[in-house]
Structure 1
């Protein structure tokens, strides 16, 4: 059995950021993911010969965040564009008003392209990164996939990480259960032509049993395609998780009623996210437990493999920037002697 320092399970932005911080500090690291492609919830799907963002809606850059330098580089290379600082807020009676906030950023090639960029750079630097690799659990000795690891990082939602840890461990007890995470169903709909106002950009929907947010994906990507992407409320999603395609008709009806659309879309698609976002946030940036069951935040190594957990649930609010900051902070902590 070979030995390697750190295994990162999950190739979303948190896992990729953690791997980058470890590699830059000289720590041997391998990244694996059970999915076919990198990105996690930074997800895009190709529909009607164009990428559509079906996971994260956009991202922001908090003041003072180290994420800013990453985003600046993406902007310079044309991978990212400033999208809008203003969304509409709709009531169910159709009344609406604009609401300004921080600049939201989008990716012309879809948000997954940003994860692909991070992954490509890691691989160019010699970091092994393998997709379609399923890790069922983390044994106490750290023996995973034919190698013995000093540290295993679980860069994924709490309920998925919890299933991989030893029952009764302090690390597992520190993670939220499935009921503490919110699901959503994303419905993509393409119309024959644009039938909504050019300044829609995106809209939060208050008081709807069906809709939480609607994005103009053509505006978001900058190609003007007549495509809307609707994200449902958590209660509605729970009722349709087993058969997400059953959500399409009521979502399209709700979008049409909200925006006054008289025509039906020419194509639709649905994607479920069982663990879309945490109901509550952890105050710490990451969890790090030693093999002796040390409390989160400690870096004790006695007794077995260290286990770290990172992602958008660790920090002030669930966001792409939070996931990056969480993964980076965990990687830097793990690199400390």
Structure 2
């Protein structure tokens, strides 16, 4: 375990893909599950704020820094519990394992179900929290259980898929940031700290049915058809690179937290108030629309904010980016401008996707 005090000048800007954020009081790089639990439990007992960090790809941290302990999971590995034609593949992955490596292994081994989730930055432990999804797939489709440290009870708790309450970019884990039934707020880390994620895959070299029109067009197949998993992965990476959504230190469009706002989900009545040409996708009894469409139609084009230090991506209006030298305050100001513009134009309140650390929007 590496434990560094504030004198080491570890800054959240060094630990996050937005590359903003001030110094942390204490930084711990944990090498085992026991070290993660011990660090979090000791901080909770002392009343010290805790930020459990993976790849830092979904965090916007304040310029003033973080007055508590930042715990980063340094564990790696993919454990295959079973693999056969009848039962498929069952694997266990520590929370700190980079997600992209899981996708690459899955495609190579013929584990179907995450091929369209290629290129998503961050750690495996973050994927169930927001039910990470892209191009018609969601990680909830292949998760079997999540092993967690329950800060509320001080015990390890394994949550089955049926208990995780998965929805669009949501889960019981995400809800436990501030609503765990006790009235206690656990921010900036949830009550349930992810330790390990278990997956169950079907064995196949072909993908799940293609459910996203843009991906189907790129692959040259009809919606609902399958393609070779490796081809799906490559097509997704091509699409994501075209939108600045694959990390590249040389490309400031990738100095971001990915999509900054979630796509709004509303009632059918609320959706009727949108313009006729607004995108509408059924989500159960509700309707989802496109945050990117709302932003663009509210007058915010690609690159809005340039030549300032913070601007919308030049490739995709849903990403807020650090053009070099940006501070958290610059990104927050841009986010407020966009949110207010959409509210004024359409009466829709956009919800930020990243975790705000010692910051408010």
TM-score, L = length of structure 1: 0.27
Higher RCO (CA 8 Å, separation ≥ 6 residues): 1
By percentage of residues, which structure has more strand? 1
